[in-house]
């Protein structure tokens, strides 16, 4: 029982340790965002180690090097998380100085704790500072991160017809969960150490944070798409383009490409491909589709593909789902099934079965 009592507070630390080691071993294969995620996990590991020591020590906490590390880590971990999200969603590298400002509170808190150790500063000063800054910092970072990810997700759907491996939806979901964890963190800091010592209720936040950290790391190290890659893939060539067309003329040019030339059958079609084919700009084309059709680029193209799939299934019922998927321009059978169900409300097999009766 004593072993379990000591293991429970260590669970988040062990999860962070596992993924920090993973990041270190895989460092050369990681992109920039994933390397920042590795640093976030390493700092979280230090923070959760301090928490484990703090919540298993019934004596009053004494000032030592750990309190200094805690002060720095607790106000640096969320800026690191934000930097990770910012690297995924924004390819702008000009804001490095502004990003550095995010880490000033952690530095101030650490200096305040060092001043307690060396200069006899009032021990309550660092904690007052942390208790004021941390709730504001963590909630603000979580909300902005969700906003940035949501905007990035919209840009993906407005730029690609096939979003498999690109969609940031799993990261958005975890960012929302992270916001819930942030609120829990604020509540835990209000409840304080005495509420948890020698109580089984300590297992609840320990398991909760362990699960959240594990999920963030698992999804983060699997998700390799980002604004930098998106910019490279959608970079338009230097050939001269027509000036912005009237919306109606641009719309008719787009529809001609879809209905007469069936350009939607091209696997991996992007908004740049369509824009260049009609001598326009990707922003104009994307905005035209959004405005005139009320759809994202992905939904616009995949609706055409699904309708085409219906046609060929009606003509030849012997075709397999994989064959229909390929003939319709989908990148994979999984993508075909998902989009078909989203657009029609039925699976391809159910639709074919009902229409054959």
Spell out the residues 6+ positions from residue 71 whose beta carbon is closer than 8 angstroms to its own. Answer: 106, 109, 110, 112, 113, 126, 130
Q: What is the pTM of this model?
A: 0.85
How far is Cα 297 from Cα 302, in angstroms, rounded to an integer? 8
* Low-confidence residues in the chain, pLDDT < 70: 1-6, 54-63, 92-97, 185-202, 236-245, 356-357
Q: Which of 183, 282, 165 has its CA nearest to residue 225?
A: 165
Spell out the residues 6+ positions from residue 272 whose beta carbon is closer than 8 angstroms to its own. Answer: 159, 234, 235, 236, 282
How far is Cα 293 from Cα 296, in angstroms, rounded to an integer? 8
Q: What is the pLDDT of residue 29?
A: 94
Q: What is the pLDDT of residue 193?
A: 53
Spell out the residues 6+ positions from residue 143 whose beta carbon is closer than 8 angstroms to its own. Answer: 179
Q: What is the pLDDT of residue 55?
A: 63
Q: What is the pLDDT of residue 242?
A: 46
How far is Cα 326 from Cα 305, in angstroms, rounded to an integer? 10
Domains and CATH numbers, the chain: 2-231 (1.20.1070), 243-356 (1.10.10.60)
The alpha carbons of the chain give a radius of gyration, in whole angstroms, of: 26
Q: What is the pLDDT of residue 49?
A: 87
């Amino acid at each position: 029982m004593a072993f379990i009592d000591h293991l429970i507070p260590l669970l988040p630390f062990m999860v962070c340790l596992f993924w920090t080691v993973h990041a270190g071993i895989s460092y050369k294969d990681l992109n920039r965002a994933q390397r920042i995620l590795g640093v976030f996990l390493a700092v979280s590991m230090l923070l959760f180690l301090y928490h484990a020591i703090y919540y298993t020590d019934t004596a009053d906490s004494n000032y030592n090097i750990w309190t200094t590390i805690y002060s720095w880590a607790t106000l640096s971990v969320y800026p690191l998380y934000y930097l990770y999200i910012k690297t995924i969603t924004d390819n702008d590298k000009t804001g490095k100085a502004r990003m550095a400002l995010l880490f000033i509170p952690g530095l101030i808190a650490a200096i305040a704790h060092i001043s307690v150790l060396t200069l006899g500063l009032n021990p309550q000063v660092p904690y007052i500072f942390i208790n004021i800054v941390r709730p504001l910092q963590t909630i603000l970072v979580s909300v902005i991160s969700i906003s940035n990810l949501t905007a990035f997700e919209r840009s993906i759907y407005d730029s690609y017809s096939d979003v498999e491996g690109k969609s940031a939806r799993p990261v958005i979901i975890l960012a929302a969960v992270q916001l819930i964890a942030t609120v829990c963190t604020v509540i835990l800091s209000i409840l304080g150490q005495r509420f948890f010592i020698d109580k089984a209720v300590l297992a609840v936040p320990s398991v909760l944070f362990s699960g959240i950290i594990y999920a963030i790391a698992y999804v983060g190290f699997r998700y390799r798409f980002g604004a930098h890659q998106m910019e490279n893939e959608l970079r338009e060539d230097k050939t001269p383009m027509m000036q912005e067309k009237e919306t109606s003329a641009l719309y008719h040019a787009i529809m001609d490409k879809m209905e007469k030339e069936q350009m939607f059958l091209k696997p991996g079609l992007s908004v740049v491909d369509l824009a260049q084919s009609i001598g326009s700009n990707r922003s104009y084309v994307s905005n035209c589709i959004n405005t005139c059709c009320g759809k994202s680029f992905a939904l616009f193209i995949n609706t055409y593909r699904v309708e085409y799939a219906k046609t060929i299934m009606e003509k030849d019922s012997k075709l397999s789902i994989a064959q229909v998927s390929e003939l319709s321009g989908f990148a994979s059978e999984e993508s075909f099934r998902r989009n078909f169900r989203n657009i029609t409300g039925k699976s391809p097999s159910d639709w074919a079965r009902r229409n054959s009766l």
